[in-house]
A and B are shown apart, each in its own frame.
Chain A
Amino acid sequence: MPEVRGPAPRMVIRGGMVVDATGWRRADVVVVDGVVVSLDDAVAPPPGSTVLDAGGCLVAPGLVDLHTHLRDPGDEQAETIESGTRAAALGGYTAVVAMPNTDPPLDSAPAVRAVLDRAATALVQVAVAGAITVGRAGARLAPMAEMAALGVRLFTDDGTGVQSPAVMRRAMEYGRGLGVTLAQHCEDADLVGDGVMHEGVWSSRLGLAGRPAAAEEVMVARDLALAGLTGVRLHLLHLSTAGSVALVAAAKSRGAAVTAESTPHHFTLTDAEVATFDPVFKVNPPLRGRSDVDAVVRGLADGTIDAIATDHAPHRADRKELPFDEAPAGMVGLETAFALALTELDAGWATGEGSGRAGRTPEERERDLISRILALMSWQPAVIAGLDPDHGGGHGGPIAPGAQANLCVVDPGARWTVDRAALASRSGNTPFAGRALRGRVRHTIVRGEPVVRDGEATR
């Protein structure tokens, strides 16, 4: 892996609580040449070593985002690989999967290679999701083998779903042969029509055309059936409805090779936000009703949903000042995702059925909450993206000697308020401006380099 700036030769992350898929322990973590060399109770840092204070913090495997729109190439005014990965690093991410709906789209080996080459100097590792069809047009299969040869493990036409069941079936068959995962943005375009928000109580009152929950669910159901037919690994992007969660739960109980993600906005916000007609609340799939939000929260608790993904979708400010009907859909999310999970799921799971959190001490509940969130944001998405150690990657694995030092150090007790102007993303289209959250990233270490130190990006 090319590196522009060498990692600090020796670094000690001191005073933190180490948390990974294997459990919790108090330890100082020593990193040499980008690799974890030891974990000890108390390390006296030798002279010349970098010391990162992790007092009161968790030291965890870096977060992995399965769903980032870097907008580069094509809309560099909204985001670039550099600004997007800086936002990711500030959010605690050490790797992101870049979605292929750029301009031109990432539907060929040269297009993928160009992004990977330019991302070599980025603050976090960028993996690329390749397009399923040429031009994301939904008709002809893109050269998936060529892209897979460059390391692409995930294929999707995200931005839209592959509408033709026959084309999706062929893509799944072909993808199974390549050993890759197909990911789908589930919305049936025909049912969506000219809808711009969730169809329901609010769309009816506001006179905005709706996108029914069923538009998502019919494609979830269709693709689960097609995945059963073809045997491909299927990943469902940004699930947002109670019906979708139930379909995935049923498929998993049958042993289907399916994984699913959901976004912070879908477990936090409802369609009532659209009453402001502020396009910052416009997103696809749309913000849903309360019962859908509750189902997503439960799905995250009971394992139906495997990952929290941001669907970070930057848009220039002027594009979000169009009429609601005309404004582009999408929200930025990299810098707020972890804190939203910690803040919102704490409340949601405390009462949610199936959370298994009843009858524990507050400290046990907090540990359980954090472990579950890290599973959803680090090691589980790392496996889905093929970025985990078992697939030869350096993300999400246990923090142990020999592991690549892709780490985040977060203070779970730190309280802060989202400030649109303070975001590192080039775009400020967060629906969470002004929201008080807890949980803040203190340091992010990528291949041994502290790309975020004391809450500030180092480059």
Chain B
Amino acid sequence: MRHLLGMGDLDADELVEVLDVADAFVEVGQRANPKVPALRGRTVATVFFESSTRTRVSFETAAKRLSADVLSFSAGTSSLNKGESLRDTIETIESMGIDALVIRHAAAGVPVQVARWLSSTCVVNAGDGAHEHPTQALIDLLTIRQVRDPGGKGVGCFAGLAVTIVGDIRHSRVARSQVCGLARLGARVTLVAPATLLPPSLEGWPVEAIGHDLDAVLPTTDVVSLLRVQEERGSGTYVPSLREYAHGYGLTAARAALLPPDAVVLHPGPVIRGVEVAPEVLDLPAVLVRRQVSNGVAVRMAVLFLLLGSGDRPSSGSRGAGGDGASAGGLGPGPGEAARTVEVSAVDDA
């Protein structure tokens, strides 16, 4: 893995490795000093053409906890010049001597284009149009594994897992990344949406079923993934109104009661209360929104670490992440090289 542009860049072994490393960083994050020296001397640039404070802060926190230097560029500030060509902007940033470029853009495919233009910098897709948002999908996979198989390794918990993705799949980069990652790990994915919010063609999508009746699938669902409904779509031509959408596809208390007892609910946030999910449902323990947010930093640490690190895997002490002998895929040490385990010790913030 040279870049993380989409979930297709990760094979099953690499997915496991990202999740394992992320798990180790979750534990690191619970320490008094959550900082590790892994990327000391490396520079990560966050380049957000589309504003998203949550995602940008999550990536920057991840980079700082790995002791990397962070350069931050975002639209709306003078740091991204509107008249300048995309390629010029990106090449200027690369010339500042960066190791990884985390990019968010409202247009699909920009990270793919940028990766073609850059010679040595790793590109991480932080969300591009309706195309992909791989770190969000990785967060969801990690969150699912934590609850379905606490403390577990590997991806056995995904085999046959019934995941129902609900909402604006047509315009959702999260859904495209989720479908790819979940299917790769053996989950059975069902898409539920009004027909206007499904992609025009689902040919070739690795999904088990496509439906318009949420009530019918909830009793056999293990994981519900609710997608954000963009208000501009709701009031536009895709659905008659947000009210009608909520009536058919919102997770009301009555619908939540249809779920099996151990089912969980994911939402990439920010949540529109009363549309995608009823306020009273949001407070149920099965709703993992807050856990997803806290996993965000650990997952992004894992991605940056695996892209930029020397191949050394972090150890979280007693758990000894990396000691499970999982195939390193394209992420870890090369053949014949010993998988050295470095002690992840806290560093001084001074």
Interfacial residues, chain A to chain B (CB-CB below 8 A): 199-201, 203-210, 212, 276-278, 318, 321-326
Contacts and interface: CB of A to CB of B under 8 A. Distances in A.
Given A321-B87, A323-B107, A207 B201 contact: no
5 contacts: A201-B203, A204-B203, A209-B130, A321-B86, A324-B109
A207 B87 contact: no
A209 B131 CA distance: 10
A206 B109 CA distance: 8
A277 B86 contact: no
Contact of A323 (B105, B173, B203): B105
Contacts of A210: 200
Contact of A208 (B87, B109, B205): B109
B130 A207 contact: yes
B204 A201 contact: yes
Contact of A324 (B88, B108, B116): B108
A205 B204 contact: yes
B108 A276 contact: no
A78 B87 CA distance: 18
Nearest to B203: A201
A210 B105 CA distance: 19
Among B88, B105, B128, the most chain A Cβ lie within 10 Å of the Cβ of B128
A318 B201 contact: no
A206 B108 contact: yes
Nearest to A324: B109
Nearest to A322: B86
A149 B289 CA distance: 71
A199 B198 CA distance: 13
Given A200-B201, A277-B113, 8 more contacts: A200-B200, A203-B200, A204-B202, A212-B200, A321-B113, A323-B109, A323-B113, A325-B108
A425 B86 CA distance: 24
A322 to B, nearest CB: 6
A323 B110 contact: yes
B234 to A, nearest CB: 17
Nearest to A279: B113
A291 to B, nearest CB: 12
Given A325-B129, A326-B107, A276 B200 contact: no
A345 B145 CA distance: 53
B113 A278 contact: yes
Interface in B232-250: none
A209 B85 CA distance: 22
Interface of B, helix, strand, loop or mixed by DSSP:
loop
B112 interface: yes
Given A201-B204, A207-B132, A318-B85, A277 B109 contact: yes
Given A201-B203, A201-B204, A321-B87, A207 B131 contact: yes
Interface residues of B, number: 29
Interface in B99-126: 105-110, 112-113, 116-117
A207 B200 contact: no
A385 B110 CA distance: 41
Contacts of B109: 206, 208, 277, 323-324
A321 B86 CA distance: 7
B201 A323 contact: no
Contact of B129 (A200, A207, A212, A276): A207
Nearest to B199: A204
Contacts of B105: 323
B242 to A, nearest CB: 21
Given A206-B131, A207-B130, A201 B86 contact: no
Nearest to B170: A204
B89 to A, nearest CB: 10
Contacts of A318: 85, 87-88
Contacts of B313: none
A201 B131 contact: no
Contacts of A278: 113, 116
B65 interface: no
Contacts of B131: 206-208
A318 B205 CA distance: 34
Contacts of B130: 207-209
A212 B112 CA distance: 24
B176 interface: yes
Contacts of A277: 108-110, 112-113
Contacts of B88: 318
B96 to A, nearest CB: 20
A322 B85 contact: yes
Contacts of A325: 106-108, 129
Query: What 10 pairs between A and B have smallest CB-CB spacing?
Result: A277-B109, A207-B130, A204-B199, A323-B107, A207-B131, A325-B107, A321-B87, A207-B108, A204-B201, A277-B112
A204 B132 CA distance: 12
B204 to A, nearest CB: 6
A212 B199 CA distance: 12
Contacts of A203: 199-201
Contact of B200 (A204, A321, A323, A326): A204
A422 B129 CA distance: 35
A281 to B, nearest CB: 11
Interface in B175-204: 176, 199-204
Nearest to B173: A207
A188 B112 CA distance: 30
A208 B86 CA distance: 18
A318 B90 CA distance: 13
A200 B203 CA distance: 9
Contacts of B106: 325
